Amino acid sequence: MGLADTIMGLLAGRSWRVASQAAAQASEPLEFPAQITLGGDKIDLRPMTGYDRAVMLDFARSLPPHDLLFLRRDITQPEVVEDWARDLQEDRYVTIVALRGTQIVGYATVASDGLAWTRHVAELRVLVSPSMRGLQLGRILTEQAFAIARQRGVRKMIAQMTLDQRAAMRVFSHIGFEREARLRNQLIDRDGQLHDLQIMSLDVDEFRAKIDLMTISAQHEFV
Ligand SMILES: CC(C)(COP(=O)(O)OP(=O)(O)OC[C@H]1O[C@@H](n2cnc3c(N)ncnc32)[C@H](O)[C@@H]1OP(=O)(O)O)[C@@H](O)C(=O)NCCC(=O)NCCS
């Protein structure tokens, strides 16, 4: 195969990847409440409210401590969940919870800090109960968080995770996030062990420009 063929092949591969990422970005959030079936269970999806504080605490306390490391605040603490409920009420955060019956089995949050110079940025956080992993709930919640963030006019989205969270990197890459920075020894767990923090991001305008460019090139190929 010649050099030109190799480059064309790479370009085709890249376009395919971007096209599949674009396809995975739900254009509109679901109409909530919504119900999906996963692994034979009916799962309800709806926005979190202040009334969910107690069930959210139960959920957080059922999780392996390592899964909470990417969060800046310890959501096993009642006062932290109180703050979270306030952020929801003041519209800085939107959280979609996934419930099996009355029990929370996952959630996705779009979190903005409300500060002037970063008002275009939101962090997406996703967490799924170990009992429900591998059933696509993480992907569905991430896609919904993405759609909500876009609907709110967010221009840059970020997600943070420890380096070993391969599933998290996969769900975010799937919708177009790329690795932006790695902060060494940024996190310390309850046992004093240090961990690196991976930051992934997606620039909404840049991603849109990539799609437009691909569309224009494809149109040229068919003229
Ligand atoms: C990240 C997380 C939400 C994913 O939830 P999930 O419901 O298991 O995810 P899904 O079932 O939608 O699977 C997502 C993808 O990850 C892949 N995956 C799952 N576990 C994996 C692992 N251990 N290693 C590599 N890939 C994995 C799945 O195969 C799937 O890819 P595919 O759709 O291309 O097959 C869940 O693992 C979690 O809560 N982790 C801890 C918290 C965290 O790190 N959150 C991310 C920071 S925002």
pLDDT (tens digit, 9 = 90+) per residue, 162-197?
Answer: 999 999 999 999 999 999 999 999 999 989 999 999
Q: Write down the pLDDT at residue 97.
A: 98
For the residues 110-124, what does the mean pLDDT come to? 91
Please give the residue that has the higher pLDDT: either 30 or 21: 30
CATH of the domain at 87: 3.40.630.30
- ∠ CA(45), CA(115), CA(157), 5° rounding? 45
How far is it, in rounded angstroms, from Cα 153 to Cα 134? 30
The ligand 1 atom nearest the CA atom of 159: 48
Alpha helix stretches (DSSP H) within 127-187: 137-151, 166-174
Q: Write down the pLDDT at residue 211.
A: 77
Please give the residue that has the higher pLDDT: either 140 or 18: 140
**Percent of the chain whose pLDDT exceeds 90:** 71
Strands 194-203 vs 156-162: parallel, antiparallel or unpaired = antiparallel
Check if the beta carbon of residue 43 is closer than 8 Å to that of residue 105. Answer: yes
pLDDT digits (tens, 9 = 90+) for 93-109: 999 999 999 999 999 99
pLDDT over threshold 80, residue 222: no
Question: What rounded mean pLDDT belongs to the chain?
Answer: 89
Q: How many domains does the chain have?
A: 1
For residue 129, which phi and psi values (nearest 5 degrees)? -60, 140
**Which residues' Cβ are closer than 6 Å to ligand 1?**
67, 70, 125-128, 133-139, 159, 161, 165-168, 170-171
Domain extent, residue 175, equals 3-222
110 pLDDT band, cuts 50/70/90, is: very high
pLDDT over threshold 80, residue 218: no
Q: Residue 218: which residues within 8 A CB-CB, separation 6 or more?
A: 15
How far is it, in rounded angstroms, from Cα 88 to Cα 84? 6
